[in-house]
Each structure stands twice: as structure tokens, then as C-alpha cells.
């Protein structure tokens, strides 16, 4: 096996994250079979005393790997991630959501693949979604595996599951890093990376667990949700990323899903947009 590169983990934390969930998430990174040498914590605004105590206690255990940056006010995930990218000293970085869970072999398997495929700019994995407890899996997401399949998929929906991804820091920066794009910051980044001819791969194994909730489907309905989605897709139609046919198809799908009743939307997500 080739020598594995080091990688950084960027985690943005804000005040509404449950401390217990945060502890599980951080420990899932610290317990990896191939560990990071740089764990960057971005405090997105003032945190609670319980969160601060937890972070301080954990950092004391492994002072050498942690880097912490504090924003005085909440700036949003995209800006927080960009600050993390500025602080990275490794070639590779991963975004870790502060209430999710990474399987202990996730980074070893991904970094091993990257050591054997030097042309890849970003590698993701499949994911499971759970409510309250990791044992309560409600759905799984299986994504396209190879670059051509991923790019094709990306002309309709976001081609990667963002928090599963390890990406080449320089490739993200060359694509413009995270930019203001309400509800679509991840998709926006990956479109720009695709337009920059980056190459992708998705590890065909569930190695990441996404915390979700019963109101997940409600948040993806209504005109307030639909308007920025359509604006985003129209922007990239004008830029030439979507053909007219692709734009009409993806815009129509988004519209139908957004305006349907919550119960039907939940069925559509579970039956057609998840495994």
C-alpha cells in the first residue's frame, strides 16, 4: 500500500448543536483507524457553556492536533468552512457536521483509495440517515460511483453527499471555495468543481451517518424553499452548465416536490430519493 497522506478535518459548531451529539461526532473522528493530524474547530458565534466545556475537555486530551478559531457572531456554514480551508495545512480536508457520525474506517478507506488514484479531486461515500440514535436508521443514500456517472447525476441533483467527502484543498480553492448560495452551497461548489474538470469518486459503502429529524421533509416544501432552488438552477442554466432540457427537467422536479403535501413528499423522498 502507498504511504497515506495526512488529512485535515473541519468542523463548524454553533450554539444550537446538542452537546451530547457534538461529543459523539467529535469522538467518531478521534477514534478513526487512520487518524487526522489536524482537527480544525470553527466556533460559529458564541457557544453555550456546556459546549465550551466539552470542547475544552476534548482538546486537552489531544492538544497537538486541534486548531480553534472563534467568530464573534454567527457567519453561517459556508463562511465557517472557508475559514477552515484557510487554516488547513494539509493537501486533503474533510467537512464534518457537528452532529453526525463517521464510521471508524471511513478515512482509512478513503485515503487508501486516494493514494492509489492520484487523479481524484474529491471522494465521498454512501450514507445512512438516522433519527435520535445511530441504531435507528430510517434511510440510506447510495450515490453514483465513478466520475462520469457522478457528473451525469450532477446535472440533476447534488452529485456528492457533502459531509462524506474528502477533497483536495487546492481544487476547492481554485473552484472559488464556498460561496453564498442559500440552501445550495454544497451543490454550487460541486458544479464549479465539475466545470473546472475536477474528478470524483464515491466509495460504495455506508461509512457516514447523517442525523435527521421528523421535520426534514417539511423543511423541503413551500415557495420559500423553492424560490432559491429555482434561482440557483436558472443561474447555472445561464452559465451553460444545464442544457435547456436539463434545466426544465430539474426545475420541474423541484417544483413538484416542493408544492406537494408533506406526507406525499415524505413518501417521494423515501421511495425515490433514498434507498
132 shares a domain with 262: no
111 shares a domain with 38: yes
Percent of the residues in the chain that have a pLDDT greater than 90, as a whole number: 83
137-155 pLDDT per residue, tens: 988 999 999 999 999 999 9
Domain that holds residue 246: 218-273
200 shares a domain with 258: no
Report pTM: 0.92
175 shares a domain with 106: yes
Query: What is the distance between the alpha carbons of residues 12 and 81, in angstroms, rounded to a whole number?
Result: 7
130 shares a domain with 17: yes
The residue with greater pLDDT, 61 or 100, is: 100
DSSP annotation string for 120-146: -SEEEEEEEEEESSTT-EEEEE----S
The SS3 of residue 164 is helix
Residue 46's CATH number: 3.90.550.10
Q: In the numeric block, which cell numbers belong to residue 191?
A: 458544479
Which is it for strands 7-13 and 92-95: parallel, antiparallel or unpaired? Answer: parallel
Q: Given this model, what pLDDT does residue 219 score?
A: 61
223 shares a domain with 172: no
Give how many domains the chain has, as a whole number: 2
154 shares a domain with 40: yes
Residues 6+ apart with CB under 8 A from 152: 144
The residue with greater pLDDT, 141 or 223, is: 141
46 shares a domain with 156: yes
Q: Given this model, what pLDDT does residue 181 score?
A: 95
**Which of 212, 236, 261 is the endpoint of a domain?**
212
33-76 pLDDT per residue, tens: 999 999 999 999 999 999 999 999 999 988 899 999 999 999 99
Residues 6+ apart with CB under 8 A from 57: none
71 shares a domain with 195: yes
Amino acid at each position: 500500500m502507498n504511504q497515506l497522506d495526512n488529512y485535515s478535518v473541519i468542523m463548524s459548531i454553533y450554539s444550537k448543536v446538542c452537546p451530547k451529539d457534538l461529543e459523539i461526532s467529535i469522538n467518531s473522528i478521534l477514534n478513526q483507524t487512520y487518524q487526522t493530524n489536524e482537527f480544525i474547530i470553527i466556533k460559529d458565534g458564541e457557544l453555550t457553556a456546556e459546549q465550551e466545556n466539552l470542547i475544552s475537555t476534548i482538546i486537552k486530551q489531544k492538544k497537538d492536533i486541534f486548531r480553534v478559531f472563534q467568530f464573534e457572531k454567527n457567519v453561517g456554514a459556508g463562511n465557517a468552512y472557508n475559514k477552515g480551508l484557510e487554516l488547513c495545512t494539509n493537501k486533503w480536508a474533510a467537512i464534518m457536521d457537528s452532529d453526525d457520525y463517521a464510521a471508524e474506517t471511513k478515512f482509512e478507506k478513503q485515503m487508501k483509495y486516494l493514494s492509489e488514484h492520484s487523479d481524484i479531486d474529491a471522494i465521498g461515500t454512501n450514507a445512512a440517515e438516522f433519527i435520535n440514535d445511530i441504531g435507528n436508521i430510517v434511510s440510506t443514500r447510495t450515490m453514483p460511483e465513478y466520475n462520469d456517472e457522478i457528473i451525469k447525476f450532477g446535472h440533476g441533483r447534488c452529485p456528492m453527499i457533502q459531509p462524506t467527502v474528502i477533497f483536495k484543498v487546492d481544487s476547492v480553492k481554485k473552484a472559488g471555495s464556498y460561496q453564498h448560495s442559500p440552501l445550495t452551497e454544497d451543490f454550487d461548489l460541486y458544479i464549479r468543481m465539475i466545470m473546472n474538470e475536477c474528478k470524483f469518486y464515491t466509495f460504495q459503502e455506508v461509512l457516514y451517518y447523517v442525523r435527521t429529524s421528523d421535520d426534514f421533509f417539511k423543511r423541503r416544501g413551500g415557495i420559500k424553499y423553492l424560490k432559491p432552488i429555482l434561482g440557483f438552477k436558472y443561474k447555472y442554466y445561464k452559465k451553460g452548465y444545464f442544457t435547456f432540457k436539463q434545466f426544465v427537467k430539474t426545475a420541474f422536479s423541484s417544483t413538484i416536490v416542493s408544492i406537494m403535501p408533506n406526507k406525499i413528499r415524505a413518501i417521494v423522498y423515501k421511495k425515490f430519493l433514498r434507498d
